[in-house]
Amino acid sequence: MNKPLIGISTYLVEKASWGVWELPAALLPAGYPRLVQAAGGLASMLPPDEPSYAAEVVARLDGVVVAGGPDVDPSHYGAPRDDRTGPPAPERDAWELALIRAALDSGTPLLGICRGMQLLNVALGGTLIQHLDGHVAAPGVFSTHPVRPVPGTLYAAIAPAPADVPTYHHQAVDRLAPALVPSAHAEDGTIEAIELPSPAWALGVQWHPEMGEDVRVMGALVREARGRG
């Protein structure tokens, strides 16, 4: 059976260093492709491009992952910028919003991770909390906390029991988009997973599965993508 091709969005940075080189680069933490591969998929990087090309790109994929990264520009959900919101990433915002909309329009299985979950909510009309304490241990350090699935959801079918997950975020869902349902919560009530109701396959998780050993979420995406292919 052919392995499904899973596209993963990437950073686009002005300067990165490797070997003797220091150049602009499209970057993706290795945990993302490794998790796709461990789940049985083929990983393809999707650096920011002209948003009008998103539908053509998604048409060649079996599944889409919108990866973690910088804060979403609050202009996308009609809010003034909080002083604690990070610098904007306009090219990435525009590209990933276009990827999300193309995946939803085409029925291509979609997984949003951290920023990707937040963008899914924004793309469908939701808003974000621009600063949340307690979900970052220290700059550049992942921590863990438990999340509890909501019974009857896609996420609960994937992971039916509470689980400790790798976390690193200071923003979260505020007003949930009308089309979405919450499918997991942290102990403090923060929405930790969101999804579109069946028969769509679109799931967002606030944590970073690529930083742990649990392949269930990515495995579910890969199985759905294989079935579609």
Residue 208 is a catalytic residue: yes
Q: How far is residue 45 from each of residues 9, 61, 65, 154, measured CA to CA in Å? A: 6, 11, 10, 26
**13 in Cβ contact with 27 (< 8 Å):** yes
Place of tokens 């990515």: 218
- What DSSP string runs through 45-85? EE----GGGHHHHHHT-SEEEE---SPPPGGGGT-PPPTTS
d(CA 217, CA 159): 8
213 an active-site residue? Answer: no
* Two tokens, residue 139: 């700059």
Annotated catalytic residue within 96, 135, 208, 224: 208
CA atoms within 13 A on the CB side of 127: 12
CA distance 43 to 61: 10
Q: Which of 76, 114, 192, 195 is catalytic?
A: 114
* Distance separating alpha carbons of residues 105 and 99, to the nearest angstrom: 10
How far apart CA 149 and CA 176 sit, in angstroms, is 17
Q: Are strands 191-195 and 181-186 parallel, antiparallel or unpaired?
A: antiparallel
The residue annotated as part of the active site, out of 96, 192, 210, 224, is 210
Residue 210 falls in the annotated catalytic set: yes
Instruction: Please give the positions annotated as active site.
Output: 114, 208, 210
